[in-house]
Amino acid sequence: MWLRAIEEHINYKIKGYNVNNLSLLVMAAGMGSRYGGLKQLDSFGPNNETIIDYSVYDAIKSGFEKIVFIIREEFSEDFKTKISDKFKDRIDVEHVYQSLDQVPKSFSVPNSRSKPWGTGHAILSAKNAISGPFMAINGDDFYGRQSFQVASNFYQNEENKFCMVSFKLENTLSEFGGVSRGVCASFERQLISVEETHNIEKKDGEIRSNEKIFHGDELVSMNMWGFGIQVFDYLEERFKLFLNDYGNEEKSEFLIPIVVSDLIKEGVESVDVLNSNEKWFGVTFPEDKKNVSESILKLTSDGAYPEKLF
């Protein structure tokens, strides 16, 4: 396996790529309340592959050099056995635990709190595991090869810039209920804002959220963000402010799109918008599993992926 990994790495370098030790940060500590189980460990591929397996495979093929998993400590052994042990000889792998007690010493976690602090806190928990540019993704979203490739291309000559891989809204919907999406406003490939919009669904040929109607080609964020390491300083500072304002609430979340939007509004950072034409797959609802499995099977039969990834 090591020879195969070295060969892939050499081939990538021969093509002239330099991705500045690009890492992939996989957020896999969520609870999956609507899905009814741990989506991260569920099987979707022809050989029981998880969605994460496909993201890692695409990342390796696109020149990423390290995978960092954010997980909950209580299912770490199951996670390693089911997922990361399969490719630990192909790419550098590190596990980071996200927990409620990862807060400033001056703050006490409410006894009633059980929900994780959110995606911003998840990324912050990986501060000591990452030393260069990285892409952050959800562990239960299927992004497609092109999405990882455009991100890798972006970081060939960049280290400190921020980016977001965007998808067409119509490529991100579920047949089984309304979904929440970050609808993006951009100008000349620069992100202006992300508006979290809830209950978006396609009904009677129309895509709508309550009274708002969409065309379908609007760009949305699926939490595929690229960051330089300065993001950790921003997150550390802003998480303290978040706890001061909302820390005593049971379900408040420190979300990365809100942090990014604030950084843009304040003129602190700019975010390049990268477009992906891939069709996103995800499992918001249990009924989504059949469609995702069938979509992956078709990609496999079309030659996009081997039957056995690792």
Give 145-155 pLDDT, tens digit per residue.
999 999 999 99
**Could you tell me if residue 56 is inside a domain?**
yes
The number of folded domains in the chain is 1
**Could you tell me if residue 308 is inside a domain?**
no
Structure confidence by residue, pLDDT tens digits, 111-154: 999 888 999 999 999 999 999 999 999 999 999 999 999 999 99
**Could you tell me if residue 135 is inside a domain?**
yes
Domain span at residue 116? 2-301
Helix, coil or strand: residue 231: helix
Orientation of helix 2-14 relative to helix 51-61, angle to 10°: 50
Could you tell me the pTM of the whole model?
0.89
Structure confidence by residue, pLDDT tens digits, 28-67: 987 554 444 567 788 999 999 999 999 999 999 999 999 9
| Sign of the C-alpha dihedral computed for residues 71, 46, 32 and 53 taken in this order | positive
Q: What is the pLDDT of residue 281?
A: 87
CATH of the domain at 137: 3.90.550.10
Q: What is the pLDDT of residue 146?
A: 97
**Is pLDDT of 222 > 50?**
yes
Nearest to 278 by CA among 172, 207, 194: 172
For the chain, count helices (H), then strands (E).
8, 13
